Amino acid sequence: MAESGPAWPGGRRFAFTIVDDTDCSTLANARPVYDLLQDLGFRTTKTVWPLAPWRPTFTGGATLADPDYLRWTLSLRDAGFEIASHGATDHSSERADTVRGLDTMREVYGADPRMHITHCSQQEGLYWGAARFSGAVARLYGLLRLVGRRSWRSSGHEPESPYYWGDICAARLKYVRGFGFDSICTSGADPFMPYHDPERPAVPYWFSASNARSIPSFLALLGEANQDRLEASGGACIVYTHFALGFMKGGALEPRFRALMERLALRPGWFVPASDLLDHLAGSPGRGGALLPAQHARLQRRFLFERVAGRDNHLGDVVLRARAALRRKLAPGGARQ
């Protein structure tokens, strides 16, 4: 776990942030979580969908078309949280709609988002699925997806695709999430991030995250021993989670979530949004540059090992798939987007 971590601003001993995937998010289930984070001094990254869906959705969740929700995200932004893109809306979007979504975010927030997180069903995903990998691993992952009967395929990086927006991403965004790892110390699992990958050039900079898809895996990741490990490492943790999946229990915040965040808030960490953390991290030795093929191979080897070893928690996926199946059933003729 030892890491010659970068020097954090203000003499802080480690860095910590969260990227919240907006799937299933509503004012009712998300606002209490952010009220707590704000009270405790955390400033994190929340993704949004700018446009209301016009086809059957994949997970559901509020968009900026809801004026109350929009106002709330503006108040978060004003309080120092980062608002990031989760694509135009909760289904696939062709190029013109992706641009319309980004333009809407620019209009609402006064600037383009710095970060984009690919949504699990969007065909405009950039180098998602097997395209994240190189060589034999790419072929193996493609095969595993076939076995898993996941039919959607991302093509946002392929100029001939109607979903292409790689050039727009390169021009208007900075960070896109790539690999996910199980370690609390994201910067230890990925010693290169943020990095540019010349084999996947539409994304200016990739970063990795620590997996915590929903409340069980979040509580496991942020347990006391792991918090201590993160602080001792001097590194950075970027948690990737869905705050809409189980963080509220019977109308109140999950008590252990509250307790763990209260504990972490007392530690000498640098608690800033993910793009700020990555901007700072980019100045550390070995980071912020072009990724070599051997370095990419190292990251994908670890990712694959952790997937095969079964340490990644898929409960969130199970919930999302069940909801998606229900929605498809309720929407006659609604193909998966």
Only segment of 111-119, 123-131, 249-257, 275-283 that touches Zn ion (CB under 5 A): 111-119
Closest to Zn ion by CB, 119 vs 132, is 119
Check residue 63 and report its DSSP letter.
-
Smallest separation, CB 12 to Zn ion (Å): 30
Based on the shown chain and the rule CB under 5 A, indicate whether residue 23 belongs to the binding site for Zn ion: yes
Q: Residues 104, 167, 296, 277: is their CA dihedral positive or negative? A: negative
Only segment of 48-56, 117-125, 141-149, 256-264 that touches Zn ion (CB under 5 A): 117-125
Based on the shown chain and the rule CB under 5 A, indicate whether residue 46 belongs to the binding site for Zn ion: no
Cβ–Cβ under 8 Å, residues 202 and 169: yes
β-pairing, 248-249 vs 252-253, is antiparallel
CA gap 17, 274 in Å, rounded:
6
Cβ–Cβ under 8 Å, residues 114 and 78: no
Based on the shown chain and the rule CB under 5 A, indicate whether residue 119 belongs to the binding site for Zn ion: yes
Only segment of 67-75, 99-107, 116-124, 233-241 that touches Zn ion (CB under 5 A): 116-124
Only segment of 4-12, 33-41, 95-103, 118-126 that touches Zn ion (CB under 5 A): 118-126
Smallest separation, CB 313 to Zn ion (Å): 16
Using alpha carbons, select from 37, 1, 45, 9 the residue that is nearest to residue 231: 1
Q: Residues 315, 115, 177, 181: is their CA dihedral positive or negative? A: negative
Smallest separation, CB 23 to Zn ion (Å): 4
Closest to Zn ion by CB, 196 vs 323, is 323
CA gap 208, 211 in Å, rounded:
9
Smallest separation, CB 57 to Zn ion (Å): 11
Based on the shown chain and the rule CB under 5 A, indicate whether residue 116 belongs to the binding site for Zn ion: no
Reading the block at residue 283, the tokens are 């100045």
DSSP codes of every residue in 301-317? HHHHHHHHTT-S--HHH
Based on the shown chain and the rule CB under 5 A, indicate whether residue 21 belongs to the binding site for Zn ion: yes
Closest to Zn ion by CB, 125 vs 273, is 125
The residue ranges that bind Zn ion (CB under 5 A) are 21, 23, 119
